Amino acid sequence: AIASHELKTPITSLQGYLELLAVKTEKNNDPFFINIVARARNQVKRMTTLIHSFLDVSRLESGKIHLETQTFNIGDLITEIITDIGETNPDHDIILHPTSPITVTADREKIGEVISNLLHNAVKYSPSARKIEVFSGESNGYFEFSVKDLGAGIKEKDINKLFDRFYRVVSAEDKPTIPGFGLGLYLCYEIIQRHKGKIWVKSDFSKGSTFYFTLPVTH
Protein backbone atom coordinates (compact mmCIF):
# COMPACT_ATOMS: atom_id res chain seq x y z
CA ALA A 1 0.00 0.00 0.00
CA ILE A 2 2.82 2.40 0.89
CA ALA A 3 4.76 1.68 -2.31
CA SER A 4 1.64 2.17 -4.44
CA HIS A 5 0.79 5.37 -2.64
CA GLU A 6 4.32 6.75 -3.12
CA LEU A 7 4.24 5.85 -6.81
CA LYS A 8 1.05 7.83 -7.41
CA THR A 9 2.68 11.29 -7.27
CA PRO A 10 5.53 10.75 -9.78
CA ILE A 11 3.22 8.90 -12.16
CA THR A 12 0.67 11.72 -12.03
CA SER A 13 3.43 14.26 -12.84
CA LEU A 14 4.67 12.08 -15.69
CA GLN A 15 1.13 11.89 -17.04
CA GLY A 16 0.88 15.70 -16.90
CA TYR A 17 4.18 16.20 -18.75
CA LEU A 18 3.17 13.70 -21.42
CA GLU A 19 -0.12 15.51 -21.93
CA LEU A 20 1.78 18.76 -22.50
CA LEU A 21 4.10 16.98 -24.89
CA ALA A 22 1.08 15.54 -26.73
CA VAL A 23 -0.34 19.05 -27.32
CA LYS A 24 3.06 20.27 -28.61
CA THR A 25 3.62 17.29 -30.92
CA GLU A 26 0.10 17.59 -32.37
CA LYS A 27 0.97 21.18 -33.31
CA ASN A 28 4.25 20.18 -34.94
CA ASN A 29 2.42 17.45 -36.83
CA ASP A 30 5.34 14.98 -36.85
CA PRO A 31 3.81 11.47 -37.12
CA PHE A 32 6.85 9.79 -35.51
CA PHE A 33 6.65 11.87 -32.31
CA ILE A 34 2.84 11.76 -32.23
CA ASN A 35 3.04 7.96 -32.29
CA ILE A 36 5.77 7.74 -29.61
CA VAL A 37 3.95 10.13 -27.27
CA ALA A 38 0.68 8.20 -27.72
CA ARG A 39 2.48 4.96 -26.81
CA ALA A 40 4.15 6.55 -23.78
CA ARG A 41 0.76 7.85 -22.55
CA ASN A 42 -0.74 4.43 -23.02
CA GLN A 43 1.99 2.79 -20.92
CA VAL A 44 1.60 5.40 -18.16
CA LYS A 45 -2.12 4.68 -18.18
CA ARG A 46 -1.42 0.96 -17.74
CA MET A 47 0.92 1.70 -14.84
CA THR A 48 -1.73 3.91 -13.22
CA THR A 49 -4.30 1.11 -13.51
CA LEU A 50 -1.87 -1.36 -11.91
CA ILE A 51 -1.08 0.99 -9.03
CA HIS A 52 -4.80 1.47 -8.44
CA SER A 53 -5.31 -2.31 -8.36
CA PHE A 54 -2.54 -2.73 -5.77
CA LEU A 55 -4.13 -0.01 -3.65
CA ASP A 56 -7.58 -1.57 -4.03
CA VAL A 57 -6.23 -4.98 -2.94
CA SER A 58 -4.61 -3.57 0.18
CA ARG A 59 -7.79 -1.59 0.99
CA LEU A 60 -9.89 -4.71 0.52
CA GLU A 61 -7.64 -6.65 2.82
CA SER A 62 -7.76 -4.07 5.56
CA GLY A 63 -11.53 -3.68 5.11
CA LYS A 64 -11.09 -0.04 4.12
CA ILE A 65 -12.69 -0.15 0.69
CA HIS A 66 -15.93 1.80 0.53
CA LEU A 67 -18.41 2.35 -2.26
CA GLU A 68 -19.31 5.83 -3.42
CA THR A 69 -22.65 5.13 -5.00
CA GLN A 70 -24.59 7.24 -7.48
CA THR A 71 -27.45 6.54 -9.88
CA PHE A 72 -26.36 6.45 -13.51
CA ASN A 73 -27.01 4.98 -16.96
CA ILE A 74 -24.62 2.05 -17.22
CA GLY A 75 -24.89 1.98 -21.04
CA ASP A 76 -23.08 5.34 -21.23
CA LEU A 77 -20.28 3.99 -19.04
CA ILE A 78 -19.88 0.91 -21.26
CA THR A 79 -19.74 3.07 -24.42
CA GLU A 80 -17.09 5.35 -22.85
CA ILE A 81 -14.87 2.41 -21.91
CA ILE A 82 -15.24 0.62 -25.24
CA THR A 83 -14.32 3.80 -27.14
CA ASP A 84 -11.23 4.23 -24.99
CA ILE A 85 -10.06 0.61 -25.26
CA GLY A 86 -10.94 0.44 -28.97
CA GLU A 87 -8.71 3.43 -29.72
CA THR A 88 -5.66 1.87 -28.11
CA ASN A 89 -6.21 -1.66 -29.47
CA PRO A 90 -6.59 -1.35 -33.24
CA ASP A 91 -5.97 -5.09 -33.71
CA HIS A 92 -9.34 -5.95 -32.16
CA ASP A 93 -12.92 -5.10 -33.13
CA ILE A 94 -15.04 -4.54 -30.04
CA ILE A 95 -18.67 -4.81 -31.08
CA LEU A 96 -21.26 -3.35 -28.74
CA HIS A 97 -24.77 -4.76 -29.12
CA PRO A 98 -27.11 -1.86 -28.35
CA THR A 99 -29.66 -1.93 -25.55
CA SER A 100 -32.25 0.41 -24.04
CA PRO A 101 -30.98 2.71 -21.22
CA ILE A 102 -30.53 0.92 -17.89
CA THR A 103 -30.08 2.73 -14.60
CA VAL A 104 -28.11 1.31 -11.68
CA THR A 105 -27.11 2.69 -8.29
CA ALA A 106 -23.48 1.77 -7.84
CA ASP A 107 -19.92 3.04 -7.53
CA ARG A 108 -19.46 4.26 -11.14
CA GLU A 109 -15.67 4.27 -10.99
CA LYS A 110 -15.39 0.75 -9.54
CA ILE A 111 -17.95 -0.72 -11.95
CA GLY A 112 -15.90 0.99 -14.68
CA GLU A 113 -12.82 -0.87 -13.38
CA VAL A 114 -14.70 -4.18 -13.64
CA ILE A 115 -15.86 -3.53 -17.22
CA SER A 116 -12.44 -2.30 -18.21
CA ASN A 117 -10.67 -5.31 -16.64
CA LEU A 118 -12.94 -7.79 -18.42
CA LEU A 119 -12.49 -6.03 -21.76
CA HIS A 120 -8.72 -5.75 -21.36
CA ASN A 121 -8.55 -9.46 -20.56
CA ALA A 122 -10.64 -10.28 -23.64
CA VAL A 123 -8.11 -8.37 -25.76
CA LYS A 124 -5.07 -9.72 -23.89
CA TYR A 125 -6.08 -13.40 -24.02
CA SER A 126 -7.17 -13.41 -27.66
CA PRO A 127 -4.05 -12.21 -29.46
CA SER A 128 -5.01 -13.80 -32.77
CA ALA A 129 -8.81 -13.40 -32.79
CA ARG A 130 -10.07 -9.92 -33.68
CA LYS A 131 -13.69 -10.11 -32.68
CA ILE A 132 -14.91 -9.23 -29.18
CA GLU A 133 -18.63 -8.85 -28.49
CA VAL A 134 -20.26 -6.97 -25.64
CA PHE A 135 -23.86 -7.61 -24.62
CA SER A 136 -25.92 -5.90 -21.95
CA GLY A 137 -29.55 -6.03 -20.94
CA GLU A 138 -32.03 -6.37 -18.12
CA SER A 139 -33.70 -9.47 -16.77
CA ASN A 140 -35.56 -10.20 -13.50
CA GLY A 141 -34.55 -6.91 -11.88
CA TYR A 142 -30.88 -7.33 -12.72
CA PHE A 143 -28.65 -5.66 -15.25
CA GLU A 144 -26.50 -8.25 -17.04
CA PHE A 145 -23.25 -7.53 -18.83
CA SER A 146 -21.19 -9.99 -20.85
CA VAL A 147 -18.06 -9.91 -22.96
CA LYS A 148 -17.32 -12.69 -25.40
CA ASP A 149 -13.94 -13.40 -26.96
CA LEU A 150 -12.77 -16.07 -29.40
CA GLY A 151 -9.35 -16.42 -27.78
CA ALA A 152 -7.39 -18.85 -25.61
CA GLY A 153 -10.31 -20.12 -23.53
CA ILE A 154 -9.97 -21.64 -20.05
CA LYS A 155 -9.78 -25.27 -18.97
CA GLU A 156 -12.49 -26.66 -16.70
CA LYS A 157 -9.94 -27.24 -13.90
CA ASP A 158 -8.99 -23.54 -13.79
CA ILE A 159 -12.47 -22.03 -13.91
CA ASN A 160 -13.24 -22.33 -10.19
CA LYS A 161 -9.96 -20.73 -9.15
CA LEU A 162 -9.96 -17.91 -11.68
CA PHE A 163 -11.37 -15.28 -9.31
CA ASP A 164 -8.89 -16.11 -6.52
CA ARG A 165 -6.26 -13.58 -5.56
CA PHE A 166 -3.00 -14.01 -7.55
CA TYR A 167 -4.43 -16.94 -9.53
CA ARG A 168 -3.02 -17.19 -13.05
CA VAL A 169 -3.42 -20.05 -15.49
CA VAL A 170 -0.10 -21.72 -16.25
CA SER A 171 0.15 -21.62 -20.01
CA ALA A 172 0.93 -24.53 -22.32
CA GLU A 173 4.62 -25.52 -22.30
CA ASP A 174 5.36 -24.06 -25.71
CA LYS A 175 3.71 -20.67 -25.18
CA PRO A 176 5.24 -17.79 -23.23
CA THR A 177 2.96 -16.65 -20.40
CA ILE A 178 1.16 -13.36 -21.01
CA PRO A 179 2.32 -10.98 -18.23
CA GLY A 180 0.02 -10.13 -15.34
CA PHE A 181 -0.43 -10.32 -11.56
CA GLY A 182 -3.61 -12.36 -11.25
CA LEU A 183 -5.37 -9.53 -9.44
CA GLY A 184 -7.85 -8.22 -12.02
CA LEU A 185 -10.52 -10.90 -11.70
CA TYR A 186 -10.12 -11.06 -7.92
CA LEU A 187 -10.88 -7.32 -7.76
CA CYS A 188 -13.81 -7.69 -10.16
CA TYR A 189 -15.24 -10.44 -7.95
CA GLU A 190 -14.90 -8.42 -4.74
CA ILE A 191 -16.39 -5.27 -6.32
CA ILE A 192 -19.40 -7.12 -7.78
CA GLN A 193 -19.98 -9.03 -4.52
CA ARG A 194 -20.09 -5.73 -2.62
CA HIS A 195 -22.75 -4.50 -5.05
CA LYS A 196 -24.89 -7.61 -4.43
CA GLY A 197 -24.33 -8.85 -7.94
CA LYS A 198 -22.81 -12.02 -9.40
CA ILE A 199 -19.83 -12.66 -11.66
CA TRP A 200 -19.02 -15.84 -13.57
CA VAL A 201 -17.49 -17.24 -16.73
CA LYS A 202 -18.33 -19.81 -19.39
CA SER A 203 -15.49 -21.02 -21.54
CA ASP A 204 -14.41 -23.55 -24.14
CA PHE A 205 -10.69 -24.21 -24.03
CA SER A 206 -8.97 -22.91 -27.18
CA LYS A 207 -12.30 -21.58 -28.53
CA GLY A 208 -12.96 -18.57 -26.32
CA SER A 209 -14.60 -17.28 -23.15
CA THR A 210 -17.58 -15.22 -22.07
CA PHE A 211 -17.40 -13.34 -18.78
CA TYR A 212 -20.67 -12.19 -17.18
CA PHE A 213 -21.71 -9.99 -14.27
CA THR A 214 -25.01 -8.76 -12.89
CA LEU A 215 -26.06 -5.78 -10.77
CA PRO A 216 -29.41 -4.90 -9.24
CA VAL A 217 -31.32 -2.37 -11.42
CA THR A 218 -32.71 0.92 -10.04
CA HIS A 219 -36.27 1.87 -11.10
The binding site for ligand ADP (CB under 6 A) comprises 121-122, 125, 149, 151-154, 162, 167-169, 180-186, 209
Name the residue nearer to ligand ADP (CB basis): 113 or 149: 149
Name the residue nearer to ligand ADP (CB basis): 209 or 214: 209
Question: Which helix (H) or strand (E) element contains residue 198?
Answer: none
Name the residue nearer to ligand ADP (CB basis): 25 or 203: 203
Name the residue nearer to ligand ADP (CB basis): 30 or 61: 61
Q: How far is CA 33 from CA 15, 30, 38, 88, in A?
A: 16, 6, 8, 16
Closest by CA position to 153, among listed 165, 139, 169: 169
Minimum Å distance from CB 93 to ligand ADP? 16
Minimum Å distance from CB 3 to ligand ADP? 18
Minimum Å distance from CB 153 to ligand ADP? 6
Minimum Å distance from CB 92 to ligand ADP? 12
Name the residue nearer to ligand ADP (CB basis): 3 or 20: 3
Alpha helices per DSSP H over the chain: 2-28, 31-61, 74-88, 108-124, 156-159, 184-194
Minimum Å distance from CB 131 to ligand ADP? 13
Exposure letters 158-175 (e unless 16+ CB within 10 A, then b): bbeebbeeeebbeeeeee
Q: Which residue is nearest to ligand ADP (CB)?
A: 180
Closest by CA position to 130, among listed 184, 101, 93: 93
